[in-house]
């Protein structure tokens, strides 16, 4: 039997089609698409939101700049503040310039006063009550504005969010109109003011512009009217009371109880801000205060009337609000002697059937009037 040699069957050649495929590199767009597929959805949305937010921010900045330019184009320059003419009452003094005989003021009573001549208590009380962040902001307080806007919308009542700088701008420049355009102008000018003037200068502007009831503009007129003293001599309690007036000036005549309550609140705010101690605040709350509401007094009234007539001839009737300081020839001591002589002599005058008397004392060398009494009673209806 023949032997057959078994040869191994040749293995089938297996062809891997995949391995034989020619692999091409992915394009950039395909790579990006592949990455996007593998990114979590929140990352994709996050990037979209960032893009939209960036565009929105850019548009907001653009709109803000455009609005700033639009509203700023017609605004006065802050430089004009130094040269502006303000109504200020004229004052008439005796020959020494020390005794005030009369302060005019038909519509306005004001004496412009430098900040160095105002009590530190008055400055501190004003800042603590009106604008606690005054020394830190740059003209306006965005947080305070947003808070007041929220309260105004939620409660339908007006709550202030203005800084001291804004309040001055409103009083002196842009007016009291309640519109958004006026508010925007107010903010723009406040920022400009803060760039040009120091904090002390802005406080000085405000304290000479704020209304303190009646025709009293500025702290000097108020301290003279209510306490018959200079603003430099105000006590802690007096300063706190005056600082409480500008928010609602009519409290002086219509609701003094509310005014004194506000005074105590101001003292509390001063203590909270560290200007005074709690003990000082408590003591000042107990300090008795008498609001004098001084009517514009007139010493040597007949003489003052004569001077006023001369001023009207020289400067016109508007002299009363031109802030003039008039030093006259009157001798204050001789004037009081003359008034006493008339008062004492009226008894004898009446014994002889007389009803009135007058006296004028002149300097024989110059003809200057040293004393003048026009009647026994200036304020009597018959004289």
Beta strands 91-93 and 325-327: pairing type? parallel
What's the confidence (pLDDT) of residue 212?
92
Q: What is the Cα–Cα distance from 266 to 245, expressed in whole angstroms?
A: 11
Task: Give the pTM.
Answer: 0.67
Question: pLDDT below 70 — which residues of the chain?
Answer: 1-47, 61-83, 106, 144-160, 175-181, 253, 293-296, 381-383
What's the confidence (pLDDT) of residue 20?
46
Token pair belonging to 222: 């108020």
Decide: 266 and 128 in contact? Cβ < 8 Å.
yes
Helix crossing, 41-72 with 180-196: angle to 10°? Answer: 80
Of 264, 290, 289, 288, the residue nearest 278 (C-alpha): 264
Domains (range + CATH), the chain: 110-286 (1.10.3810.10), 301-373 (no CATH)
Q: What is the Cα–Cα distance from 209 to 205, expressed in whole angstroms?
A: 6
What's the confidence (pLDDT) of residue 256?
85
The helix (H) or strand (E) run that includes residue 60 is: helix 41-72
Decide: 358 and 342 in contact? Cβ < 8 Å.
yes
What's the confidence (pLDDT) of residue 177?
67
Q: What is the Cα–Cα distance from 167 to 163, expressed in whole angstroms?
A: 6
What's the confidence (pLDDT) of residue 12?
47
Q: What is the 3-state secondary structure (H, E, C) of 67-105?
A: HHHHHHCCCCCCCHHHHCCCCECCEEECCCCCCEEEECC
Token pair belonging to 90: 């004229």
């Amino acid at each position: 039997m023949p032997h057959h040699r078994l040869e191994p069957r040749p293995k089938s050649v297996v062809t891997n089609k995949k391995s034989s495929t020619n692999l091409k590199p992915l394009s950039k767009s395909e790579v990006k698409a592949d990455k996007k597929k593998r990114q979590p959805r929140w990352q994709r949305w996050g990037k979209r939101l960032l893009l939209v937010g960036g565009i929105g921010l850019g548009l907001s900045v653009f709109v803000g700049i455009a609005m700033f330019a639009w509203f700023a184009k017609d605004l006065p320059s802050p430089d004009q503040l130094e040269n502006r003419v303000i109504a200020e009452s004229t004052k008439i003094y005796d020959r020494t310039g020390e005794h005030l005989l009369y302060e005019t003021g038909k519509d306005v009573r004001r004496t412009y006063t430098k900040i160095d001549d105002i009590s530190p208590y008055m400055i501190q009380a004003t800042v603590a009550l009106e604008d606690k962040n005054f020394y830190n902001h740059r003209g306006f307080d965005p947080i305070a504005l947003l808070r007041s806007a929220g309260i105004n919308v939620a409660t339908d009542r007006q709550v202030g969010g203005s800084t001291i700088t804004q309040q001055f701008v409103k009083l002196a420049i842009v007016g009291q109109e309640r519109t958004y355009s006026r508010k925007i102008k107010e903010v723009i000018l406040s920022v400009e003011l803060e760039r040009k003037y120091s904090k002390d200068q802005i406080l000085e502007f405000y304290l000479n512009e704020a209304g303190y009831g009646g025709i009293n503009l500025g702290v000097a007129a108020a301290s003279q009217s209510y306490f018959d003293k200079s603003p430099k001599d105000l006590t802690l309690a007096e300063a706190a009371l005056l600082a409480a007036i500008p928010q609602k000036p009519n409290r002086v005549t219509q609701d003094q109880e509310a005014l004194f309550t506000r005074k105590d609140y101001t003292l509390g705010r001063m203590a909270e801000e560290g200007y005074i101690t709690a003990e000082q605040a408590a003591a000042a709350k107990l300090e008795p205060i008498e609001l004098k509401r001084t009517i514009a007094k007139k010493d040597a009234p007949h003489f003052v009337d004569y001077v006023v007539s001369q001023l009207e001839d020289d400067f016109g009737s508007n002299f009363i609000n031109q802030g003039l300081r008039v030093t006259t020839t009157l001798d204050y001591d001789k004037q009081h002697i003359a008034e006493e002589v008339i008062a004492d002599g009226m008894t004898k005058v009446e014994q002889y059937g007389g009803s009135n008397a007058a006296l004028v004392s002149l300097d024989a060398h110059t003809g200057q009037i040293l004393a003048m009494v026009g009647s026994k009673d200036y304020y009597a209806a018959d004289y």
